[in-house]
Amino acid sequence: MEDEIAWWNKAVECGWLVDTKQSRARARSEVVLDSAKQSFNSRGYEKTRIEQIAATANCSVGSIYQRFPDKKSILCVLQLRQYYSNERGLDRLSEVHASRLTTDDILYRYIIRTAEHMRTHTKIRRAFIDFSITDKTALSVKEHHAAYMGDRLTDFLVNRREIDDSAISRVQGMMISKIVMGTLDNLFADTAADTDSINVVLTLRDMILAYIRQKRL
């Protein structure tokens, strides 16, 4: 529940979502978001019309505009919601499994979760990134997410004594996070690509482990 409130409040703060205190109205907004997600993933952002989202959500176009200023706002809220899901997923992975899984296992799970997001949200993510080039708010949200993921990954590696807790290590953690995101982004650039993602994930994990353990010697 706290995660839901967090991304909702951030979306309102960014001006992408009209706030409401009624749980029923919030639930209807989530239905619109889920319908838009389906439409964006199937048709692409540019080819999707508000009327199509409304039809899938079984609501009027006017009711959508009561909740979201425009189609770009819906796109941004969808990506923001996914960012928060990614962040909480990494938090839980680091905290819940830290005592009983090896560094190798947790890094694998981190990368495979990221890969799954990339694979299933390609069109939404790419449309949001394009939008962030010219929109400062979207750019700020994107950069905050990248920094959060890099910091949490660094914290995990520091706690495992894989790297030192230093300014240089923080840069290394951010670099590793960006390598993961960039590699997987290129891997799933073509949503129709038939790629052996498991082998890619394993290779990526092993490269990261080799890098940080070589630096430690």
Cβ atoms of residues 8 and 17 within 8 Å: yes
Q: Is the pLDDT of residue 202 over 90?
A: no
For the ranges 113-122, 130-139, 156-165, which has the lowest average pLDDT? 156-165
2-71 and 76-216 agree in CATH topology: no
Cβ atoms of residues 146 and 156 within 8 Å: no
Cα 123 to Cα 196: distance, rounded to the nearest angstrom: 20
Nearest Cα neighbor of 98 from 156, 38, 177 is 156
Cα pseudo-dihedral 84, 11, 146, 75, rounded to 10 = 90
Spell out a b/e string for 3-19, using b for 16 or more CB atoms within 10 Å of the CB, else e.
eeeebbebbeebebbee
In the chain, pLDDT over 70 holds for what percent of residues? 89
Structure tokens at 149: 């993921």
| Contact partners, residue 205, CB within 8 Å, separation at least 6 | 104, 107, 108, 111
The top-scoring range by mean pLDDT among 2-16, 182-196, 203-217 is 2-16
Q: Is the pLDDT of residue 86 over 90?
A: no
Residues in the chain: 217
Residue ranges per structural domain of the chain: 2-71, 76-216
Q: Is the pLDDT of residue 126 over 60?
A: yes
Mean pLDDT computed over every residue of the chain: 85
The top-scoring range by mean pLDDT among 12-26, 94-108, 128-142, 195-209 is 128-142
Nearest Cα neighbor of 114 from 89, 94, 131, 92 is 89
pLDDT value of residue 151: 86
Select the more confidently predicted residue: 69 or 175: 69
pLDDT in tens, 142-174: 999 988 888 888 888 888 777 777 766 778 778
pLDDT value of residue 77: 96
Residue linked to tokens 């928060």 = 84
Cβ atoms of residues 88 and 46 within 8 Å: no
The phi, psi pair for 116, rounded to 5°, reads -65, -40
Q: Is the pLDDT of residue 30 over 90?
A: yes
> Looking at residues 129-134, what average pLDDT do you find?
93
Cα 155 to Cα 169: distance, rounded to the nearest angstrom: 10
Which CATH number does the domain 76-216 belong to among 1.10.287.130, 1.10.357.10, 1.20.1280.50, 3.40.640.10? 1.10.357.10
Q: Is the pLDDT of residue 48 over 90?
A: yes
CATH class, 2-71 region: mainly alpha
For the entire predicted model, the pTM comes to 0.85
Q: Is the pLDDT of residue 130 over 80?
A: yes
